[in-house]
Chains A and B, each alone.
Chain A
Amino acid sequence: MTDAAEPMIRAVDLRKSFVSKQGTVEAVKGISVEVRRGESFGFLGPNGAGKSSTMRMVAAVSPITSGELRILGMDPAKDGPGIRARIGVCPQEDTLDTELNVADNLYVYGRYFGLPRADVRTRVEELLEFVQLTEKAKAKVEDLSGGMKRRLTIARSLINRPDMLLLDEPTTGLDPQARHVVWDRLFRLKQQGVTIVLTTHYMDEAEQLCDRLVVMDKGLIVAEGSPLELIRAWSTREVAELRFGVGEHEALAAKVADLAERVEVLPDRLLLYTSDGEETLAKVHERGLAPAVSLVRRSTLEDVFLRLTGRTLVD
């Protein structure tokens, strides 16, 4: 067993490259992270940042290229099955068996972990209730909505009462309502003290669920901290967003540059980083500028990412 001081994940200068006919692609270029027991930890970054490659190494299904990796104190190269016995994995793409019904999918999966039949049956009932699929127990998987399939996959990843739950892009492809149901379930797990590690390219997901996160870009960690710490360190309290006519933003940026700590020019709007958005907005109007649309909001992790990389998260 792991002693309490041992982190759930410890990665030191972890790297991953893939060799193909086109050459070698370095997906993870040396990252160091530590995830502690009971923590909700996130990897935030755009597609191609190396999040999924990292996740697959942590899940002990993809060998590391170099560096050091310990999961629950164990070496995935030596003790992959032992690690996988004690973690839960919710992959980005569903890998449910559509020939089996909802309850069977959970039951057979529980058996892979060497759990006795009676224990698995009880567990299946508990989990169906937890993910609100009790009524669908006998339904075919192919008849489920995307959100239900996701919840079923989450239930499946909990079948072995894992010490740590890994979720790769848990709500990608779901409609807003289905996302909120998934978030609600994950939040409950978090409150129960389950260690959760997730990847996401949604800043709102990271803000809702993560105690601590790393921002990844192009295979590297560019910042680390709690959502609030990151926003404090890399952005201002508020943001005034101004939308002018198409193509006018670049030219207008110079006219408002002195009104904010920092101005970002996006193709469709200007972002003015400031401690008091309303006041800044008033000054913009005083200068005789009339944006078609304007709004004031709090800074988010999206702003942090923009500041760190010069790009938006979802493009």
Chain B
Amino acid sequence: MATTDTATGTTPSSAPRSPLAGAVRMADYWATVYRRTWKGSVISSFVTPLLYIVAMGVFLGGFIQDDPAKLEGATSYLAFVAPGMLAAQAMTVVFGEVTYPVMSMIKWQRTFYGMIASPLNIADVVLAHLGFVLFRVGTVCAVFTLVMAPFGVFESWWGVLLSFPVQLLIGLAFAAPLYAITAAMRSESGFSLIFRLGMIPLFLFSGAFFPISNLGPVMEWLARLTPLWHGVDLTRMLVLGTVDWSTAAIHVVYLVTCAVVGYLLAVRTLEKRLID
């Protein structure tokens, strides 16, 4: 077997021209990983959110009859909670993907070291991983939206279409900073804190289940600082057709900033940790 000759018809190996070009080279890796692991995530990704919506939106929501003005323009509690659940689900998927799996890549299996021994740089590998997280957020949110459509909770079809890229943006706004946090962690013991003191309070108090005006002025002000509230509010105004474009623009800028700063921080943290 010839090992070194660059035989006829073979493209020589090369360095990628940009992080995006590098990330594209990892598409087959993530596709293979997903083919091997999707079964394990089906229930949590696709079934659990629907159980929530049935329990909270249909059965619990049946008791709630309130003025649409108090429900941010929703005509029923189900219509109010559905977009909130959608945005919260986008966040939840991210917490699963960017904690233990990242720790495994840099500490347990050390596959990250193998990846950056190839022509790929850390920025390429992080970008590819974020791309995979977006794929996971995208499939989960698409299925959720399709299942909710027959319930008649969406007022604006173009708003629903627009809410899809918004879910991807929410995913990135969480995934990139969380990637940076995981990259800095030495052991997995911090993850339980991240889930209990980070994800669960965000999930419950960022306006997904009730209007944050109910929280009282101080807590409401705090809730407005969280990325999930920006995501929930943006999603809700889109699907309910109650868009205030200037508020929407603030939401988008906030979420994009989280994503960009998070990505740069993640790459920097990993460069410090892996390249010494």
Contact = CB atoms under 8 A, between A and B. Distances in A.
B3 A194 contact: yes
Interface stretch (B90-98, B109-117, B236-244, B261-269): B109-117
A309 to B, nearest CB: 27
Interface in B98-136: 109-121
A266 B96 CA distance: 56
Contacts of B25: 111-114
A273 to B, nearest CB: 41
A117 B275 contact: no
Main SS at interface, chain B? loop
Contact of B113 (A95, A98, A104, A130): A95
A81 interface: yes
Interface residues of B, number: 37
Contacts of A146: none
A61 interface: yes
B223 to A, nearest CB: 38
| Most B C-beta atoms less than 10 A away, residue of A18, A85, A107, A194 | A85
B193 interface: no
Nearest to B6: A161
Contact of B4 (A96, A130, A192): A192
Nearest to A126: B1
Interface stretch (B13-21, B44-52, B201-209): B13-21
Nearest to A104: B32
B275 A85 contact: no
Contacts of A111: 25-29
A158 B29 CA distance: 18
Interface in B124-176: none
A79 B15 CA distance: 9
B65 interface: no
Contacts, number: 120
Contacts of B114: 91, 95-97, 109, 156
A95 B113 CA distance: 7
Nearest to A158: B3
Given A18-B276, A111-B28, A112-B119, A98 B109 contact: yes
Interface in A99-116: 99-100, 104, 107-109, 111-116
A247 B82 CA distance: 82
A223 interface: no
A112 B120 contact: yes
Interface string B1-40: 1111110011101111000000001111100110011000
Given A85-B119, A126-B1, A194-B4, A113 B276 contact: no
Given A107-B28, A113-B119, A129 B1 contact: yes
A148 interface: no
Contacts of B27: 111
B142 to A, nearest CB: 25
Interface in A61-119: 61-63, 79-82, 84-86, 89, 91, 93, 95-100, 104, 107-109, 111-117, 119
Contacts of B109: 95-98
B117 A99 contact: no
Given A59-B117, A163-B4, A108 B32 contact: yes
Contacts of A98: 109
A100 B33 contact: yes
B29 to A, nearest CB: 4
B264 to A, nearest CB: 19
Given A111-B25, A193-B4, A81 B13 contact: no
Nearest to A153: B114
A189 to B, nearest CB: 6
A84 B15 contact: yes
B33 A99 contact: yes
Nearest to B32: A104
A119 B28 contact: no
A115 B28 contact: no
Contacts of B11: 114-116, 119
16 contacts: A63-B275, A81-B16, A95-B109, A112-B25, A112-B29, A113-B25, A113-B118, A115-B11, A115-B13, A116-B11, A130-B3, A161-B10, A163-B4, A189-B3, A193-B4, A194-B4
Interface of A: 18, 59, 61-63, 79-82, 84-86, 89, 91, 93, 95-100, 104, 107-109, 111-117, 119, 126, 129-130, 156, 158, 160-163, 189, 192-194
Interface of B: 1-6, 9-11, 13-16, 25-29, 32-33, 36-37, 109-121, 275-276
A-B CB proximity, top 10 nearest: A95-B114, A81-B15, A113-B13, A112-B118, A160-B13, A85-B119, A108-B29, A81-B119, A89-B117, A85-B13
